[in-house]
Amino acid sequence: LDSCDYGNIWLHGIDMTNVSTQYRRMSFVFQHYALFKHMTVYENISFGLRLRGFSSQKIKNKVNDLLNCLRIADISFEYPARLSGGQKQRVALARSLAIQPEFLLLDEPFGALDGELRRHLSKWLKRYLQDNKITTIMVTHDQKEAILMADEIVILKEGRLLQQGKPKSLYDQPINFFVGIFLGLLIEIPKLNDSITLKNIPSKTPKNLKKFAFDPIWLKIFANRSIKQYRFFLRPYEFCIKSEIDLEATPVQIKTIIYKRTFVQLDLFVTSFLWNLTIPIGYQSFRNLHIQSFLQTLYIKPRLQVFLRAYPILTNLKKSNN
């Protein structure tokens, strides 16, 4: 790692800036692994323990435990050149955990793993970090991974802080449309007429955020506010959908039904707005619709969220209570 040009690095009240590597109790999993090419998998994982003078038996026990947990015991005597990207990534993770660090930095730790292994290891790693009380900062572009792994999420865009908070807080109240779209929580309503204006947007809402739900209908047309100030979105996971005729709901026509592992994806055509909409629903909710054909009309009552087009940039991280 590079040395500091200025400033200091503190861990639990101790200045770690110039502390030798073997005494830092800090680990870093690089996005591109950084394994020692001349060492086997076993030797890579045990390197930090040998550097710190652990006994052969303790090294063996720790390394074998990690090899089994990360499902790489069968390649323990292979060299990095013979490993796949996913195997290298797991070796790098095992090496970082072997020294029982107090602080761990992870850069896209599951990026090279396939779906099932990725889900298994992310759940295992979260339990491991909690059980061993290891403070961790993880960089990821995978929104689901962040929500699963994190106690606190920080969302950055172009090096600037947009929002910080617990996963539930960000899920329920994205501070702006970029955060909502990034987390996969919003679908924009396109091509609204620029002449439409709005009023009765609640005044007692968080600064720079105007949010409200329409229960019986999608959109109320009023006066006093230019629609150009706002962007309109639906929450794909917050729909009331039924097959019975409902004059207060919005009619949609089924285009495609796609069966996923844990939900059904409905591709719909919204006749009143002339646009396509994709929403996920659970299997039980899907069965309750009693869909007979693709020509069938459904009726939806979505939750609408309205955001200002301009959104704020935060300047400082909040101190976590964890």
- What residue ranges of the chain have pLDDT lower than 70? 1, 191-229, 272-273, 311-322
CATH class of 10-150: alpha beta
Name the pairing type of β-strands 14-15 and 209-210.
unpaired
Cβ-contact 155, 182 below 8 angstroms: yes
Q: Is 158 helix (H, G, I), strand (E, B) or coil?
A: coil
Give tens-digit pLDDT for 249-285. 888 899 999 999 889 999 998 876 678 888 889 999 9
* CATH fold group of domain 187-308: OB fold (Dihydrolipoamide Acetyltransferase, E2P) (2.40.50)
Cβ-contact 105, 29 below 8 angstroms: yes
Please tell me the predicted confidence (pLDDT) of residue 10.
85
Please tell me the predicted confidence (pLDDT) of residue 1.
61
Measured CA to CA, the distance from residue 119 to residue 113 in angstroms comes to: 9
Give tens-digit pLDDT for 58-104. 999 999 999 999 999 999 999 999 999 899 999 999 999 999 999 99
Residue type, 109: P
Please tell me the predicted confidence (pLDDT) of residue 320.
58
Measured CA to CA, the distance from residue 76 to residue 73 in angstroms comes to: 5
User: In the structure encoding, which two tokens stand for residue 23, read together?
Assistant: 């005494």
Please tell me the predicted confidence (pLDDT) of residue 226.
57
User: In the structure encoding, which two tokens stand for residue 8, read together?
Assistant: 């200091």
Please tell me the predicted confidence (pLDDT) of residue 132.
93
Please tell me the predicted confidence (pLDDT) of residue 8.
87
Kindly list the domain boundaries of the chain, sorted by start residue: 10-150, 187-308
User: In the structure encoding, which two tokens stand for residue 156, read together?
Assistant: 């950055």
Q: For residue 230, what are the β-bridge partners? A: 308
Q: Do domains 10-150 and 187-308 have the same CATH topology?
A: no
